[in-house]
Amino acid sequence: MHKRLSAPRMEFDVAQAYQYPEHLRPYLDGLPSAPGVYVFHSDSDVMPLYIGKSVNIRSRVMSHFRTAAEARLLRQSRRISYHLTAGEIGALLLEAQMIKQLQPLHNKRLRRSRQLCSIHMVNGMPVIASAKEIDFARTPDLYGLFSSRRSAQQTLLDIGDTELLCYSLLGLERLSHGRPCFRFHLGRCAGACCGKETPQEHQLRLMDAMQQMRVFNWPYAGPIGLVEQSADRRQIHVVNNWFYLGSVENLAQAAGLNKVAQGFDRDGYNILSGPILSGRHEIVELT
């Protein structure tokens, strides 16, 4: 009887396969230890490989060179460029804008474009609405920003399960008036559907659960300039309806930035809502 011989196991050491990208060394010397956006370029001048941001460009770029996991990006790169900003807000805004415009190869997750949805409270009933249907910047009683209707609906289901809410009062299932729902018999609904608790109690628990997801309306009549200042750089970030229009150095340039806001921007809202609503930054209303 012949004994089958197994092939010797080959251990692949990623670290051994990694080679330091000597061709990129000349681009490292001039990198500043300052806030901004950096770009890894391939031979193409149209589509960059990767766009990143940091409050310390030099430190962040150097971190790409310290791990074998970045080997593919570094092998494909031919040069590195950067854009300085006055601070972290400007870096975040510029990064998001450049990724949308240039669609870099290694920023795939940020390139996906899906239908933005929110939970709109209408007469006490949650309704899932898209940004194509209503103006998210100015419509009151919106909660949560979701990449799809399914995601918004799942959030309502999760809240219902956690707070013992009735699916029928959440608009998630149909039920005859006054008749207990199936989840009530399982102890998963507190009974707003059959009078075991008042609609007001049910509504209060729903709103408490959703309050942390509240979407704030645009608090100004028109565009504003958010001033960001560092030791040697000053920028005015022009924003309208949470949409980032661009950054300039003075108010004369800001007034001339008459781009039209292209609908509600989720990235802009996430980046800007905190700084604008906190009152910690100088805000200039632009007419």
The pLDDT assigned to 13 comes to 45
Q: What is the mean pLDDT of residues 121-138?
A: 94
Q: What is the mean pLDDT of residues 148-176?
A: 93
Residue 14 pLDDT > 50: no
Residue 191 pLDDT > 70: yes
DSSP 8-state class, residue 216: P
Q: What is the mean pLDDT of residues 36-64?
A: 94
**CATH 3.40.1440.10, the chain: domain bounds:** 19-109
243 and 265 Cβ atoms separated by less than 8 Å: yes
Residue 153 pLDDT > 70: yes
Assigned token pair, 180: 């207990």
Task: Dump pLDDT digits (tens) for 196-231.
Answer: 999 999 999 999 999 999 999 999 999 999 999 998
The pLDDT assigned to 77 comes to 95
Q: Looking up tokens 């309806």, which residue turns up?
A: 241
Task: Dump pLDDT digits (tens) for 78-114.
Answer: 999 999 999 999 999 999 999 999 999 888 765 454 6
Measured CA to CA, the distance from residue 72 to residue 105 in angstroms comes to 12
Longest pairwise C-alpha distance within the chain: 92
The pLDDT assigned to 141 comes to 97
Residue 75 pLDDT > 80: yes
Other C-beta atoms lying within 10 Å of the C-beta of residue 244: 25
Count Cβ atoms within 10 A of the Cβ of residue 180 and give its class: 0-12 exposed, 13-18 middle, 19 or more buried.
Answer: middle
Q: Which of 55-64, 144-153, 174-183 has the lowest mean pLDDT?
A: 174-183
Angle between helices 199-210 and 149-163 (to 10 degrees): 120
**From residue 178, how far is each of 157, 172, 182, 197, 203 by CA, in Å?**
21, 17, 13, 12, 17
Residue 46 pLDDT > 90: no
The pLDDT assigned to 10 comes to 42
Q: What is the mean pLDDT of residues 245-256?
A: 90
Percentage of the chain exceeding pLDDT 70: 90
pLDDT band at 8 (very low <50, low <70, confident <90, very high): very low
- Coil, strand or helix at 151: helix
The pLDDT assigned to 15 comes to 43
- Coil, strand or helix at 105: coil
19-109: CATH number: 3.40.1440.10
Pick 45 or 27 by higher pLDDT: 27
Strands in the chain per DSSP E:
36-41, 50-54, 79-84, 117-122, 125-130, 142-146, 214-215, 224-229, 234-240, 243-248, 282-285
Q: What is the mean pLDDT of residues 29-53?
A: 93
Average pLDDT, the chain: 89
The pLDDT assigned to 268 comes to 94
Residue 253 pLDDT > 50: yes
